[in-house]
Amino acid sequence: MSIVISALGTNAEILVELLGYINQNMFSLYKQHPAYSKIQNDYKEYFQGYEANELWLYSTQSGENVFKNFIDWKQNNEIPVVCRCWILPFEDIDSFEHAQQAKELAARLVGEAHRRTNNAVFISLAAGRKTMTTDLAWAGLQFGCSAFIHILSKSNNEDKNQLQLDSIKSVDTVIDSDIIKKYFPYYDGRGNKSPLVAKIEEEYTSFIEIPGEDESIIISKEHIPQGDFIINKIEKKLTEAANVHANINLSDIQQTFPFLAMYDYELIKRLKNTPLSEDFARVMPKVDLHCHLGGVLSINEIVAIARETLKQEGIEKLNISNPYETIQKIKTSKEKLHYQEVLTVLASFYGREYELEELWYGKYLDAAQFYHIGFEAYEQLGNLQGTTLLQKRTAITLAVQTLLENYKKQHALGLELRCSPYNYTKEGLSVTEVIETLLQAIENNRSDLEVGLVFIASRHKKMSEVYNSIELYEEFARKKHNDLFFKYFRGFDIAGNEEVRRPSELREAFMPVLQDCINVTIHAGETEDAKSIWEAIYYLNADRIGHGLSLANSDESLKKKFLNREIALELCPSSNFQIVAGENSTGFNDYKLNRTCGTVYPLKDFLRRGFKVTINTDNPGISRTSITNEFLKAAAMCPQDKDNMLSMLDAIQLVKNSIEKSFFPYDTKKNLLNTASAKLKEEIDKFLVS
């Protein structure tokens, strides 16, 4: 089956000339032509075996009678070619809207013809208005065309000795040489399908309705969806392809999402020169790789979970004479309190959570004062939750549920949650029950959010407890204890005060994890020098380093190792600002808070060097932050000048780093990258028109 597509003007004879050229096995029209041998050779080379079975035409309303005249002639002469004509709903192409509709119809006809024939689609460039001819040529170059056909003519309407439809009595009619020599048909090349239309073709089961009957007149307006113009999609892809060709070697985007290459260079520069805004940080997709279960809850959430745990676990409230004194005991950890007492006092602040918040944080409610307080003071701020609160199934379940809901509201795509399961066994739960509760809470509440669970071995505890954490992993891994474990377990972490035990001292304990090729992330270089990072990499084969701030001051050989192995850095801006001392114990700068007497945060330098930096929360409840706010905090901690600010392009790179260096399975990461690409592109398109 072959289809010929042509525009239709005021001349029906040109359709006979066209069929006489393609279907020379049927017509004798050109036998007296002076160039008959050339015409015949064209037929043998390009059309023999691919003669036209169908003739598809399109025209404005002025062409409707021309088509009817041609159909009368075709029926009288029993021409075995199916003919259809689409009529545009206007007399003339005299506006941009009309021109767009005409071009859209041409594209849909050529696209549909390719769907319906495995042999050939031929396009005539010899009839209709110039704009329609141009549209058909364009459509043929996009969807492909087996032959473009021209028919040159020396005749005109005043010429009495011209080809007349009435003079062609049958397919065997031979036109006199004096007449036929005025018409010269010729093959004008072919067009290969553009690969850019392949994805567009997948979107449509058909491009246009094709009636079953022969000799149809079709009003095109009824069959082209308004506002769904294929030509606009093709033009957009052509522009994107040109941009990709121009941007393919652009260093600014080589390591980030491929879709950025589709934009013109001016937009890339605009993304590079625009500081990350709160609006963009809020809506962009995000993945958090460093979040501790023991520090995820706000004061309001702590109170709510305490109340609900009392209720669901059937724990009787106590009479607390001085709740403020009890809170101070919890904060300083000087006296161990009964769990019943803890829940009662926390629940007593229902409706006045602000009082508890002021009591707990004090001057740290001022973000400018919550600065460079050291590891011990920061850790004390976590005493209100974590091991203090999460000692019952209800509390653990509600903490996970609350956390996941918070992340979903922030357009997060993924979260790796790390914890020490043994920490939550002080009120009767076995470690197996703790893990099963965590896994079930994740399963029940994550919906589309990808979640991974990372076990922590705490370096500041006894070595026997470190071994217990490793053995716990082995128990679940070897016995296949729970299918949910294999669904969500993603790796191992070593956390806690770096001064207590170095990575080199933990290698022997960690050998079962290393032998199983389990993903490993190590807290290192947060408060200690770069030797801690070096040991984490060489003794424990770390895939990622938690914080890693002292890498900025390490020698070049260690930095090269990070680049060569693509080891990721998990920066946590808020906790870094709140805990860490920089050079000369001055802490890190925050330019938005006017804290500028410290050290420049190394984030931007890490990005320039090509390190796989990621942005994370650490303890969102303790730090009074969120994954969205961490991006904004990172921006605030970078110098605000054009060359050193955290730009929109930097933020996009950080998102990609987080997905690529997550511990999620390969297929999950691939899906996350695709989802993030689509969401980022949507937001960047909005940015374009802002």
Mean pLDDT for each 10-residue chunk of the chain (690 residues)? 89 88 90 92 91 91 89 88 90 90 93 86 88 93 93 72 78 86 90 86 86 75 71 89 85 90 91 96 98 98 98 93 90 84 96 96 96 91 95 98 98 97 95 95 97 87 76 78 85 79 81 88 89 91 94 93 96 96 75 92 95 98 98 97 96 98 97 97 89
pLDDT value of position 583 = 56
| Closest alpha carbon to 16 in 91, 63, 98, 77 | 77
Q: Which residues make beta-bridge pairs with 561? A: none
Whats the size of the chain, residue-wise? 690
- At residue 387's C-alpha, the angle toward residues 381 and 391, to 5°, is 140
- Using alpha carbons only, what angle is made at residue 511 by residues 510 and 513, rounded to the nearest 5 degrees? 70
Q: Are strands 147-153 and 183-187 parallel, antiparallel or unpaired?
A: antiparallel
Angle among Cα 55, 16, 156 to the nearest 5 degrees reads 125
Q: Please report the pLDDT score of residue 616 as a whole number.
A: 98
pLDDT confidence of residue 633? 98
pLDDT confidence of residue 211: 74
* Whole-angstrom distance, CA of residue 252 vs CA of residue 622: 36
Between CA 419 and CA 443 the distance in angstroms is 17
Q: What is the value of pTM for the model shown?
A: 0.81
Domains of the chain: 2-227 (3.40.50.10770), 286-298+377-665 (3.20.20.140), 299-376 (no CATH)
Instruction: At 330, list the tokens.
Output: 């919890």
Phi-psi region of 92 (alpha: psi -120 to 50; beta: other; left: phi over 0): beta
Reduce the secondary structure of 188-241 to three states and give it as a string: CCCECCCHHHHHHHHCCCCCCCCCCCCCEEEEHHHCCCCCCCHHHHHHHHHHHH
The SS3 assignment for 64 reads helix
Q: How far apart are CA 621 and CA 305, in angstroms?
A: 14
Residue in 185, 179, 177, 187 with CA at minimum distance from that of residue 33: 177
Beta carbons of 518 and 489 less than 8 angstroms apart: no
DSSP string for 466-512: HHHHHHHHHHHHHHT--HHHHHHEEEEEEES-TTT--GGGGHHHHHH
Alpha-carbon separation of residue 650 from 255, 264, 350, 399 (angstroms): 11, 18, 42, 32
Rounded CA gap, 474 and 573, in Å? 34
Distance of alpha carbon 19 from its chain centroid, rounded? 50
Do the Cβ atoms of 216 and 85 come closer than 8 Å? yes
Give, for 87, the enclosing helix (H) or strand (E). Answer: strand 82-87
HSE-CB at 541 with a 13 A cutoff on CA atoms is 14
Q: According to the model, what pLDDT value does residue 27 have? A: 87
Taking the C-alpha atoms of residue 376 and residue 383, their distance in angstroms, rounded to an integer, is 11
Q: What pLDDT score was predicted for residue 509?
A: 82
Find the helix or strand (DSSP H, E) in which 166 lies.
none
Environment class of 447 (CB within 10 Å of its CB; exposed 0-12, middle 13-18, buried 19+): exposed
Q: Which of 139, 432, 408 is nearest to 285 (CA)?
A: 408
